[in-house]
Structure 1
Amino acid sequence: MMAAYVEILKNEFPQIDSELFDYITGVLDSGGSDFEDAEEVFDAIGGFLQEVGDKNEDDIRDICFQMFNTLQLTKCDSGQQQVLLEAPVQLSQVSADAASSVNDVHGIWMVKRNPGTTVDAKKLEKAEAKLKAKHERRNEKDSQKSSSQLVLEEASASQASSKKENRVDSSGKNRSYDIRIENFDVSFGERCLLQGAEVCLASGRRYGLVGRNGLGKTTLLKMLASRSLRVPLHISILHVEQEVDGDETLALQSVLESDTLREELLKEERRLNTHIANGTAEGLESVRLSEVYAKLEEIEADKAPARASVILAGLGFSSKMQQQATKEFSGGWRMRLALARALFARPDLLLLDEPTNMLDVRAILWLENYLQTWQSTILVVSHDRNFLNAVVTDVIHLHSQRLESYRGDYENFIKTKEDRLKNQQREYEAQLQYREHIQVFIDRFRYNANRAAQVQSKLKLLEKLPELKPIVKESEVALRFPDNFEKLSPPILQLDEVEFGYSPEQRLFRGLCISADLESRICIVGENGAGKSTLLKLLMGELTPLGGARHAHRKLKIGYFSQHHVDQLDLNVCSIELLLKRFPGETEEEYRHQLGRYGITGELATRPVASLSGGQKSRVAFAQMTMPCPNFYILDEPTNHLDMETIEALAKALNKFKGGVVLVSHDERLIRMVCKELWVCEAGRVHRVDGGFDEYKDILQEQFRKEGYL
């Protein structure tokens, strides 16, 4: 039976061509349940209908109103089925109109409508009453929002697209998995992040999105995930952004459920088998069961638990942890679970935002190996230089409100970018010299009557030359840790036969003997949960040993950077006020100078901390940590959220610093640049690896091979 809006379309526009007819019905069929009102229907198809006949805008609006009412009746039809798909991470597999409504939820309702319906007056009244009530509720919500004291900036995107592109996309004729988005803008509040930009993602390639903190990398991922930028509707998107909700679901089952096709087939298989066993099966149900079995075999459903288990194990979940309920995990582990679900679901476009932040060195190494064989498209934001070198096939550089693409890994990007800048500089200098040469001729013969024609010709030539713009280079990042303190004689900091556990029955460390001095450059590595952060707190004296002793020099002054530094900042004040509250008595100029050492300059220093990017918040935390001039730094994951230029600057600053440094980090480049010693924390002890980071990586690779994770 034909849908009612199809009848309306044929009756009102008998002369409509087939291609446009298919496009409009495709739009209404795929996104009909998501239109909020008739005006949205008009916005979607009204422009096309005006081109078909001689109807005016008011007539078109009336027709769109009729179509919207039929869509509402179809939506309210009692014969519809609803299937809840679990989706703890953003799963953008619906139309562009529907995408914005699923960004912040953990379930997506898919509605299977009866394709045919007739207009019933009572149903129409009921639908209109429901619609009116819905609008009233929405208006009430909007008024509540507007009266709220806290106004948050929102990201937005706009792009130019042709009607032909929209028709091809919605008609289902576009089956390419390449993504090309041209001439688009992205803003955050009043700030323009991208202007007239273009991005091309070829299917099957792995892209690294790089650029300075605060330029809009994360915002661009969100615009793609929400389809605020037009991605073909048949391309599935997964954005690993939110941690999995904690409930009774087991970790392994949570990952398996992310394959919605497999889950639906298994559910249908159980239902059909129950009918057959009870003798209530209808004629075609046995045939359908055979089809379900064939499809399950085709997608290798029986191998899914093993594949999910390998992914979880690679990300650090032991066999025991895989059988734990998700509610038993911390936020960091639930983020790993979200990543595991995305890897298992294998979307057409996988969006990863700083995936290494939540991982230890072992899990990062496994993820590098796993992604190297990834078949579909990846776009990853990462500050980890070695991770990008291991994973990506292309680099997209965000700078100066535009995107530039480079083939190859990060090292190739650095080299090619430098070569491009040199060539651009040479071209700029050559153009400048050419202009100067013309100007010299003009100045020399300006008042020579015999050369008047030549001077006029040169003036016109000068006017026609394109505007000469100097090459804009990104400013260098410089950090400095003040070290105006006296030299201290060893021992500076020592743990002697220390035993510790959060309960007397479960000891985390036994017989711990370690020491550090002002020459120390020590990195502590190990799996999450091995006790790295606990060890740092023992060194700082924040935790009291159950046995043994901590010895510290009486003039030791420790600066501590926590991996949860953002939680410790007051987000409602600006950076200057933050320092003023913590260290009163200085002038505003001194606070600005302190923040400026870490790249928080100008208006950045007066903006609320809440509005800063993750990397900018880290810089504020550095400024706060160094204000009292410590002579020893203990840093717990200091590179999280920092861009690569700032990590390089951090490494150089630590190398110049004359005090001691102990850090926990998973950033291979920082470790190699700074640390002279590598301590591995595992099985209740801490031991030194003589071969440094290379030996540690070799040990992990060998473990992967033995355990079958590679």
Structure 2
Amino acid sequence: MTLIHINALGVTLGDPLFTDLTLTLSKGDRIGLVAANGRGKSTLMGCIAGTFEPTKGEITRARGLRIGHVAQHVAGEQLQQTLYEFVLAALPPEQADFEGWCVDVVLGDLQVPYELQHKLLSELSGGWQRTALLAAAWVVEPDVLLLDEPTNHLDLHRIGLLQDWLAALPRDTPVVITSHDRAFLDATTNRTLFLRAERSRVFQLPFSKARIALDEADEADERRFANDLNKASQLRKQAAKLKNIGINSGSDLLITKTKQLNDRAAKIEAAAKPAHQDRSAGDIRLTNSGTHAKSLITLDDVEVTTPDGRTLYTTGKKWISQGDRIVLLGTNGTGKTQLVKMIHQALLGAQSPVKCAPSVVYGYSDQQLSQLNDADTPMLAVAGQFDVGDQRARGLLAGAGVNIQMQDTKIAGLSGGQKARLAMLILRLQQPNFYLLDEPTNHLDIEGQEALEAELIAHGASCLLVSHDRSFIRNTGNRFWWIDRKRLVEVDDPEAFLADEIAMG
């Protein structure tokens, strides 16, 4: 049964975000909505929810349809409500008076601890705020659920819980999910919409299989386009020959035939569609300077502690050598970021039990992208730090997905995705031989994640990284350190850890 029908929908905000989009949403659909950052995913969600007016086209919704829309952020004034009050306020006033127990049921299903339910939203993490938004949308028992980046700020445990919660929803409840978490999309969706400025594509497959089908379809388009242009070229060559013969012989028939051939060629050229190219969101290219050091970083039974001095674990004897892409695994609170910070301080020259080779040139990026100064502009961050010249700096920024209009505005005004790409560009320009990366894929779209993976591998980069993204962990790491029972142990692969974390959900 069709609940929502989207017909020839388009939104233009300066440039077209998407055009001529046609899609049906039926009972049982679990649709993954995929696009680069800033390409209209949240805008399309707003159109479906009825909070944003499209430029063209129409959306038909079943009579009386209730839509639950989980946005990415809690509105500023709502941050002064407790989590419980925020969810209760989602109910109609008459229902809130007599059916407040619904809130308790939903918060119980989402495993929100009682002590957090009565804290102000402003005091809670981004992950718990995201859970509050989900609870508020679900408590009204919607017929359709729209989830905009639901895994942002969630650790693997909470992602596993969310996957289980979605799997337990009534099977006929349709869900639309925007996410950059490829493993999450694979686990929760059965259809995939690749949203594009032109010719968006829908596949009856979860993300990974749909991505293969998309690549095949794009390759077929490329072959078709080349064939069409070749046909047109051949026709024009025939026309040129006939024209010469016709002129020399004075044959009106051949002149007419020449015109017909040229008209056919023009029609083929006009109808030919080039293959989709979606690289304008910015490429990430990393480079690394050389080093002859065998061991870049040495940990000789280093004790990792909390800021107040409590021991979290000891490392044993560990080395990071050239070409090692080490993923640091551990549940939240076990001290992954503490080790990253210890290594960073040692690289800065602080007195430390961590030993660094003198030839190490490091690149560092943390979860908050603290290496960026929000008061700077992207131009100042690049041209002011590196000897590249203004014109080259603008080209580099455009290639990293920071368009010309944003290059002279404050970094504070950039989107999360633009900040992440700017941080990766600055890493590239530093030309490190060792990368220290704490959640580098936060806010990076799927295209950006894949580019970062490919570059780390292609350049034989050495790195220590922390990530909650299962696909990124699997694709990038070639060594794995697991913080397990107050020891740092090396394991062959991350699968046991990932299975444990998701099962805990």
Cα 1:216/1:701, change in 2 over 3 Å: closer
- How far the C-alpha of 1:569 sits from its partner, in A, is 3.8
Contact 1:207 1:394 in 2 (8 A): yes
Give the secondary-structure state (helix, strand or coil) at the position aligned to 2:31.
Answer: strand
Q: Please tell me whether residue 487 in structure 1 is matched to residue 299 in structure 2.
A: no
Give the secondary-structure state (helix, strand or coil) at the position aligned to 2:208.
Answer: helix
Alignment deviations for residues 434-474 of structure 1 (CA, whole Å, 9 cap, x no partner): 43454344333334469643652563465363514352332
* Bigger proportion of residues as helix: 1
Which of 536, 540, 549 matches 2:340?
536
- Report matched runs for 1:680-691 at 5 Å: 680-681=482-483, 685-688=486-489, 690-691=491-492
- % same residue: 23
Contact 2:481 2:491 in 1 (8 A): no
Name the structure 1 match of 2:97. Answer: 267
- How far the C-alpha of 1:247 sits from its partner, in A, is 4.7
Specify the code of the residue in structure 2 equivalent to 1:672. Answer: R
Give the secondary-structure state (helix, strand or coil) at the position aligned to 2:422.
Answer: helix
Cα 1:601/1:237, change in 2 over 3 Å: closer
Which of 312, 315, 336 matches 1:509?
312
Contact 1:679 1:686 in 2 (8 A): no
- Runs of 5+ unmatched residues, structure 1: 1-175, 269-295, 705-710
Name the structure 1 match of 2:66. Answer: 235
Name the structure 2 match of 1:124. Answer: none
Name the structure 2 match of 1:579. Answer: 382
TM norm structure 2: 0.81
Name the structure 2 match of 1:359. Answer: 154
Cα 1:267/1:219, change in 2 over 3 Å: closer
- Report matched runs for 1:485-634 at 5 Å: 485-490=290-295, 492-494=297-299, 496-504=301-309, 507=310, 509-513=312-316, 515-519=318-322, 520-541=324-345, 549-565=353-369, 568-570=372-374, 573=377, 575-581=378-384, 583=385, 586-592=388-394, 595=397, 598=400, 605=407, 609=411, 612-634=414-436
Name the structure 1 match of 2:6. Answer: 181
Specify the code of the residue in structure 2 equivalent to 1:533. Answer: T
CA distance in 2, matches of 1:689, 1:438: 65
Name the structure 1 match of 2:178. Answer: 381
Give the secondary-structure state (helix, strand or coil) at the position aligned to 1:260.
Answer: coil
Specify the code of the residue in structure 1 equivalent to 2:88. Answer: E
CA distance in 1, matches of 2:460, 2:219: 36
Cα 1:461/1:551, change in 2 over 3 Å: closer
Name the structure 1 match of 2:241. Answer: 444
Contact 1:214 1:616 in 2 (8 A): no
- Report matched runs for 1:221-232 at 5 Å: 221-225=45-49, 226-229=51-54, 232=61
CA distance in 1, matches of 2:352, 2:115: 32
- How far the C-alpha of 1:638 sits from its partner, in A, is 0.9
- How far the C-alpha of 1:662 sits from its partner, in A, is 1.0
Give the secondary-structure state (helix, strand or coil) at the position aligned to 1:399.
Answer: coil
Q: Please tell me whether residue 694 in structure 1 is matched to residue 495 in structure 2.
A: yes
Give the secondary-structure state (helix, strand or coil) at the position aligned to 1:568.
Answer: coil
Cα 1:254/1:693, change in 2 over 3 Å: farther
Specify the code of the residue in structure 2 equivalent to 1:309. Answer: G
Which of 62, 77, 88 matches 1:257?
88
Cα 1:609/1:259, change in 2 over 3 Å: closer
- How far the C-alpha of 1:561 sits from its partner, in A, is 0.8
Cα 1:429/1:489, change in 2 over 3 Å: closer
Specify the code of the residue in structure 1 equivalent to 2:336. Answer: K
- How far the C-alpha of 1:222 sits from its partner, in A, is 3.6
- Greater Cα shift, 388-397 or 625-634: 625-634
- How far the C-alpha of 1:370 sits from its partner, in A, is 2.6
- How far the C-alpha of 1:325 sits from its partner, in A, is 5.4
Contact 1:243 1:331 in 2 (8 A): no
Contact 2:417 2:444 in 1 (8 A): yes
- How far the C-alpha of 1:178 sits from its partner, in A, is 1.8
CA distance in 2, matches of 1:186, 1:622: 30
Name the structure 1 match of 2:26. Answer: 202
- How far the C-alpha of 1:303 sits from its partner, in A, is 7.7
- How far the C-alpha of 1:580 sits from its partner, in A, is 2.9
Give the secondary-structure state (helix, strand or coil) at the position aligned to 2:494.
Answer: helix
Specify the code of the residue in structure 2 equivalent to 1:257. Answer: L
Cα 1:423/1:568, change in 2 over 3 Å: closer
Alignment deviations for residues 170-213 of structure 1 (CA, whole Å, 9 cap, x no partner): xxxxxx8622233343233x333233443433343121121223
Q: Please tell me whether residue 308 in structure 1 is matched to residue 113 in structure 2.
A: no
Which of 196, 220, 225 matches 1:428?
225
Q: Please tell me whether residue 218 in structure 1 is matched to residue 22 in structure 2.
A: no
Using CA pairs under 8 Å that are at least 6 residues apart, name the structure with larger relative contact order, 1 or 2. 2
Name the structure 1 match of 2:253. Answer: 453
Give the secondary-structure state (helix, strand or coil) at the position aligned to 1:627.
Answer: helix
Contact 2:161 2:504 in 1 (8 A): no
Please, what is the CA RMSD of the aligned residues?
Answer: 3.7
Cα 1:508/1:309, change in 2 over 3 Å: farther
- How far the C-alpha of 1:661 sits from its partner, in A, is 0.8
Which of 327, 335, 348 matches 2:143?
348
Name the structure 2 match of 1:391. Answer: 188
Contact 2:30 2:174 in 1 (8 A): yes
Cα 1:363/1:216, change in 2 over 3 Å: same
Cα 1:325/1:212, change in 2 over 3 Å: closer
- Runs of 5+ unmatched residues, structure 2: none
- Greater Cα shift, 362-371 or 427-436: 427-436
- How far the C-alpha of 1:689 sits from its partner, in A, is 6.0
CA distance in 1, matches of 2:226, 2:235: 14
Contact 1:209 1:380 in 2 (8 A): yes
Alignment deviations for residues 230-268 of structure 1 (CA, whole Å, 9 cap, x no partner): 56474323232223744573x5x357626626x744624
Number of residue pairs matched by the alignment = 483
- How far the C-alpha of 1:404 sits from its partner, in A, is 2.5
Alignment deviations for residues 480-506 of structure 1 (CA, whole Å, 9 cap, x no partner): 3222232224362426342522335xx
Cα 1:193/1:491, change in 2 over 3 Å: closer
Specify the code of the residue in structure 1 equivalent to 2:108. Answer: S
Give the secondary-structure state (helix, strand or coil) at the position aligned to 1:207.
Answer: strand
Give the secondary-structure state (helix, strand or coil) at the position aligned to 1:539.
Answer: helix
- Greater Cα shift, 645-654 or 477-486: 477-486
- How far the C-alpha of 1:650 sits from its partner, in A, is 0.6
Name the structure 2 match of 1:333. Answer: 128
Cα 1:258/1:386, change in 2 over 3 Å: farther
Name the structure 1 match of 2:203. Answer: 406
Cα 1:565/1:452, change in 2 over 3 Å: same
Alignment deviations for residues 551-583 of structure 1 (CA, whole Å, 9 cap, x no partner): 33344333211221279343662x2222233x1
Cα 1:423/1:177, change in 2 over 3 Å: closer
Specify the code of the residue in structure 1 equivalent to 2:201. Answer: E
Specify the code of the residue in structure 2 equivalent to 1:463. Answer: D
CA distance in 2, matches of 1:543, 1:395: 44
- How far the C-alpha of 1:651 sits from its partner, in A, is 0.9
- How far the C-alpha of 1:224 sits from its partner, in A, is 3.8
- How far the C-alpha of 1:432 sits from its partner, in A, is 3.7
Cα 1:701/1:577, change in 2 over 3 Å: closer
Give the secondary-structure state (helix, strand or coil) at the position aligned to 2:137.
Answer: helix
Name the structure 2 match of 1:96. Answer: none
- Report matched runs for 1:87-166 at 5 Å: none
Cα 1:553/1:587, change in 2 over 3 Å: same
CA distance in 2, matches of 1:537, 1:702: 29
Contact 2:315 2:487 in 1 (8 A): yes
Name the structure 2 match of 1:5. Answer: none
Contact 1:206 1:378 in 2 (8 A): yes
Specify the code of the residue in structure 1 equivalent to 2:154. Answer: L
